[in-house]
Structure 1
Amino acid sequence: MEKTAQGLARVSRPRLYEQLVEQLLAYIESAKLGPGDLLPAERDLAERLGVSRATLAQALVALEVLGVIDVQHGTGAVLARRPSVASVIKGLREHQSRLPDIVEARSTLEVKLASLAAARRTDEDLEAIDAALDVMGEEIAKGDRGTRGDELFHQAVTVAAHSSVLGQLMAFIAEMVLETRMESLGQPGRPEQSLASHRKIAEAIRAQDPDAAAAAMLSHIELVSDVALLK
């Protein structure tokens, strides 16, 4: 909350995505949608709410992160469950406060993993990294966000580092990393940017250049950490 000149507390305005989430949940309630039902197309929803599709997409990604909806390529947003507005807003704020810590952990672990991968990778490791890049490229070409390919790439880099303890630590935070992955790849233009930065990491690992691999991974983490809910 903000302080006024008279020292009184002023209630902060809810963020736009929180307002949109409330409106979306109100629509779901009024339309009597149940689990498995399809929400209207993004264009229609954006027009009804008077916001841009990019802004609406931010709110939809937030609901997807919380498991309220399941966004399926070629189908649209499908309702997974009908929670209360209060529980969703609480979940959003907890998610938002958790993101910086997740980013901090990723920048610590994955930069080291990239460096080790460059030093220790095998030909088999390179094949797995390339296969992950191909999967992500194919997903994006189909209009999807490349979430699966992104996950496979980071898993392949972790394996290429041949560090059992760091691998266990990455497995421990995997579910939390999924939150940032969904949030990041939901940003307009981000899947293509993420794929390009993945390729730079792969090039450094292929060249067996630990410093370049670490620098490329750090740049990548900084890119994907630029998400709407952190602002």
Structure 2
Amino acid sequence: MATARKSGRETALRPFVRPRLYEQLVERLLDHIQAEGLRVGDRLPPERELASQLAVSRASVSQALVALEVQGVIDVRHGDGAVILEIPPERQVLAALHARRNRVRDVIEAREALEVKLAGLAAVRRTAADLAAIDGALEEMARDVVQGGRGVVGDEHFHAAVTAAAHSELLARLMTEIAELIKESRVESLSQPGRPKQSLDGHRVVAEAIRAGDAGRASTGMAEHIAAVSDVALLRED
């Protein structure tokens, strides 16, 4: 009985978890939307202005905006700022952010298990049409990155093309099951400074190995790529 009471006290007195800076900024931005009476279709102030008003770095503001983008609250358009898509309750958004932090780790593990195998199979089973689809996705992402974009759509199309090139119905079905979760982590990852170019380079390594029919190199390249793009601010301690 004494042991049980002690355990209960230890649980109650567990270390206080301080909200991360980006979570605090998300709260401030949601407060701003409410206070200013902004509606769906309105734009938030530019990042530079937000950073100045909040007395934080633009990188911190960018992370908060990405968090809102993944939740579907805003749409961050290159050269057009952040447009409001939905105004949900603040508590709902914050709860979703906390849940997503744990979910991102699970998604990374699933990608490591599935996509490394898919890349290896693609190197053995790819057809000329598969290679054309992979090259098309690379070109699409490269165009967007050169223009200053994040390459999100091209990135998605590349991984879909590799999955299709593996010609494994079951693995493709499993990828479909986690597609929306991967989309969340993809936006988070490609919003990191310098990440779009790094991701594109990783894609090219995988594509070259698949074209050469080198299953081992394709698998290794995909594993290294996923490890690199999985370094996201959401999982780092402030």
Q: Choose the corresponding residue for 2:42, options 34, 37, 41.
A: 37
Q: CA deviation at 1:111?
A: 0.3
Query: Is 1:198 the counterpart of 2:187 in the alignment?
Result: no
Post-superposition Cα deviations, 1:124-169, rounded to whole Å, max 9, x if no partner, equal: 1111101000000001111110000000000100011011111111
Instruction: Report the Cα distance in structure 2 between the residues aligned to 1:145 and 1:32, rounded to whole angstroms.
Output: 30
Asked which structure has the greater CA Rg, the reply is: 2
| CA distance in 2: counterparts of 1:76 and 1:130, whole angstroms | 30
Match of 1:116 in 2: 121
Deviations 1:101-143 (A, max 9, x none): 1111100000000000001111111111010000000011111
* CA apart distance, 1:11: 2.6
Structure 1 residue matching 2:145: 3-state secondary structure: helix
Give the Cα–Cα distance (whole angstroms) in 2 for the partners of residues 173 and 165 of structure 1: 13
Distance in 2, matches of 1:220 and 1:31, equals 42
Q: Aligned-pair distance for 1:83?
A: 1.6
Residue 70 (str. 1) matches residue 75 (str. 2): yes
CA distance in 2, matches of 1:154, 1:76: 28
Alignment of structure 1 residues 42-57 onto 2, 5 Å: 42-57=47-62
Equivalences for residues 3-152 of structure 1 within 5 A:
8-152=13-157
Cα RMSD after superposing both structures: 1.3
AA at the equivalent of 1:185? L
Shift in Å at residue 84 of structure 1?
A: 1.9
- Counterpart CA distance in 2 for 1:54 and 1:188 is 8
Gaps of 5+ in 2: 1-11
Q: How many residues align?
A: 226
* Superposition misfits of 4+ residues, deviation over 3 angstroms: 7-10
Q: State the TM-score, normalizing by the size of structure 2.
A: 0.92
SS class of match (2:38): coil
**Local SS of the residue matching 1:46:** helix
Give the share of equivalent positions with the same residue, in percent.
57
The amino acid that maps onto 2:215 is: P
Structure 1: give runs of 5+ residues left out of the alignment.
1-6
Query: Secondary structure of the equivalent of 1:38?
Result: coil
- Structure 1: how far apart are the matches of 2:96 and 2:40? 19
The answer for the alignment partner of 1:4 in structure 2 is none
